[in-house]
Amino acid sequence: MSGKLEGRVAVIVGAGQTPGETIGNGRATALTFAREGARVVLVDRDRGRAEETAAEIDGDAVVVATDIASDDGPEQVVAAAIDAFGGIDILHNNVGIGMGDAPPHRLTDDAYDRIMDVNLRALWRTCRAATPALRASDHGAIVSVSSLAAVAAATNLTAYKLSKAGINALTQSLALSNAKYGVRANAIMPGFVDTPMGVDAAAAARHIDRAAYAASRAEQVPLGRQGSAWDIANAALFLASDDAAWITGVVLPVDGGQSARIG
């Protein structure tokens, strides 16, 4: 590794992962940032899963077990980072749920509220809480994981699509409002990525074979395969590092060409 994040403090929200055959986006990003020299704050609702990520890191890592959708979750995360490492240079938001989503005419108020609360409101509140620390940094950067669903989704993903489209819009607002402080904000729109949440959990929910479901997703990607969490982590590393020092307000598709196909 080249030490692109040497000495920087990176908060990774969603650093654990659901069980599965592959690695998730949050864990892959945490490992990548740490290998590039960052001191990492691993945030997850499930302490055990975050600690599993920490166990794979040969460097400075602290675990914060909290639900960022709770009233004081974002403040807990920021306080823990400052207490452990003195500040925050990078905020990586990797949060997303879709349980209970449905077409507009069948989507319930409760499902809509929960998805929007976790995927968008909690992310915004975490950015808000971290803003003073990011502005105090010489390398402030926000990288949020959106989704290709923001611009192309099946009708049964109403709330998820709205929440991810909201992240794209929020990213632009964050970029403009923080530009004069040197804080950059960008987002990643993953396409079909072979993660435990994207494949294992989805296949189980559909009661179909994992391999068959993975193959059906790969067939829809112009490059002929699903991405891996490392593809997302490498994009996050680029956007968080000085390699992207003049890039802000960008929503970057990382999707094997899927967005090109839909235009």
Closest CA to 17 of 56, 63, 52, 41: 52
Q: Are 186 and 252 in contact, with CB atoms under 8 Å apart?
A: yes
Distance CA 218, CA 209 (A): 14
* Model confidence band, residue 263 (pLDDT cutoffs 50, 70, 90): low
In sequence order, what are the residues at sequence separation of 6 or more whose Cβ sits closer than 8 angstroms to the Cβ of residue 227?
190, 191, 192, 193, 194, 221, 254, 255, 256
Span 21-30, pLDDT tens digits: 999 999 999 9
Local confidence band at 1 (pLDDT 50, 70, 90 cut-offs): low
Most distant pair of Cα atoms in the chain: their distance: 51
* 213: in domain: no
Give mean pLDDT, residues 34-59: 97
Contacts of 130 (CB under 8 A, 6+ apart): 11, 74, 77, 78, 88, 91, 142
Classify residue 202: in a domain, yes or no.
Answer: no
Encoded tokens for 6: 């040497």
Q: What are phi and psi of 193, to 5 degrees?
A: -115, 140
Domain with 235, as residue range(s), is 9-192+228-253
Task: Note the pLDDT of residue 205.
Answer: 86
Residues classed as catalytic = 160
What is the count of structural domains for the chain?
1
Q: Residue 262: what pLDDT?
A: 80
* pLDDT, tens digit (0-9, with 9 covering 90-100), for 70-114: 999 999 999 999 999 999 999 999 999 999 999 999 999 999 999
Asked if residue 263 is part of any domain, the answer here is no
CA distance 165 to 179: 21
**Residue 204 belongs to some domain of the structure:** no
Q: Which pLDDT value is given to residue 122?
A: 98
**Domain membership flag for residue 177:** yes
Six-digit token string for 219: 């067939």
| CB proximity list for 161: less than 8 A, separation 6 or greater | 149, 150, 153
Residue 212 lies in a domain: no
| CATH number of the domain within which 46 lies | 3.40.50.720
Give the whole-angstrom CA distance, residue 169 versus residue 187. Answer: 10
Q: Nearest 5 degrees, angle CA 123-CA 124-CA 130?
A: 90
Nearest by Cα to 95 from 197, 217, 175: 197
Residue 211 falls within a domain, yes or no? Answer: no
Residue 218 lies in a domain: no
Residue found by looking up tokens 């929020």 in the block:
170
